[in-house]
Amino acid sequence: MNKKTLTSITLSLILVFEINTHGISQSKGKDFEGLIHYQYTYVSDKLNQDSLNQGKDNEGIYFWKKGSYKGSLTGGDGNLFIYNSWDNRCYYSNNSNLQGYFYCMDYRQSTDTLLSVEIINTNEKILGEVCDLLIIKTPQYTSKYYFSKRYRVDPSYYKEHKAYLWDILMEKTNGGAILKSITEYKDYKFEATATKIELKELDDKEFKVDGLKIISECN
């Protein structure tokens, strides 16, 4: 999976389809903490479906805690990535790399050029949640995010997360949970939908990067 595909998946996090609280509920003002499970689909009128799906992941699990997240994707190249806001670096690996080794990317560096950003008050309900719509346009893609105000994280954690326009995404949605995401590229469309969300306390070790085998300088 290339970085742009990883981008679209990373930007389509916190998608809620079915909630499993395990006895924990999010109180007002408290950051979301837990796991979110996703299913991904790819659609194109130009590309053969088998070719389109090749190398792309179809499922993912994301771990969230304050300014940290970890994604474990399966079905394609099998990406694994870890981000912590305290150093604004992402460490990622996939099945095409040497097993157990990670690359590093400095997420303080911008990767996309913003053409426009717009919020539309839709009052559309998704899974019982009233959502607004955020539309982000770049030269490479247009992304639509339906976000909830009920489930959120503090957007200030991600103010230096310039990569993939996450600082803007989090600021404009106030860290709100994305209930539906559609990203349109030139030749295909990527959709992300969650299958389950688990609100639960996570150990900091889920996001530990000390001891990782790094095979590239962070850039």
Q: What is the mean pLDDT of the chain?
A: 82
Q: Which residues sit opposite 170 in a β-bridge?
A: none
Mean pLDDT of 179-197: 87
Q: Extract the tokens encoding 39.
A: 């299913």
Mean pLDDT of 138-149: 90
Q: What is the pLDDT of residue 22?
A: 39
Phi, psi of 186 (to 5 degrees): -60, -45
For residue 206, is it left (φ>0), alpha (ψ between -120 and 50) or beta? alpha
Nearest by Cα to 131 from 146, 150, 114, 111: 146
Region of poorest pLDDT, from 58-67, 121-130, 138-147: 121-130
Mean pLDDT of 146-168: 90
Which element (helix H / strand E) includes 154?
A: none
Q: Which residues sit opposite 157 in a β-bridge?
A: none
- Level-2 CATH architecture, domain 3-214: Clam (2.50)
How many angstroms separate the Cα of 214 from the Cα of each of 7, 105, 108, 201, 205?
21, 11, 19, 28, 18
pLDDT tens for each residue of 2-38:
544 444 444 444 333 333 333 344 555 588 898 888 8
Q: Comparing 43 with 179, which gets the higher pLDDT?
A: 43
Q: What is the pLDDT of residue 60?
A: 86
Q: What is the pLDDT of residue 14?
A: 37
Q: Are strands 213-214 and 101-106 parallel, antiparallel or unpaired?
A: parallel
Q: What is the pLDDT of residue 98?
A: 62
Residue 128 has pLDDT above 80, yes or no: no
H runs (alpha helix) in the chain = 3-11, 49-53, 166-173
| Pairwise CA distance, residues 61 & 36, whole Å | 6
Q: Confidence class of residue 178 from pLDDT cuts 50, 70 and 90? A: confident
Residue 45 is which amino acid? D
Residue 134 is which amino acid? L
Q: What is the pTM of this model?
A: 0.80
Q: What is the pLDDT of residue 213?
A: 86
Residue 97 has pLDDT above 80, yes or no: no
Residue 44 has pLDDT above 80, yes or no: yes
Residue 165 is which amino acid? L
Task: Give the residue extent of every domain in the chain.
Answer: 3-214
| Pairwise CA distance, residues 94 & 102, whole Å | 8
How many angstroms separate the Cα of 104 from the Cα of each of 24, 56, 64, 216, 219?
34, 21, 20, 6, 7
Q: What is the pLDDT of residue 19?
A: 35
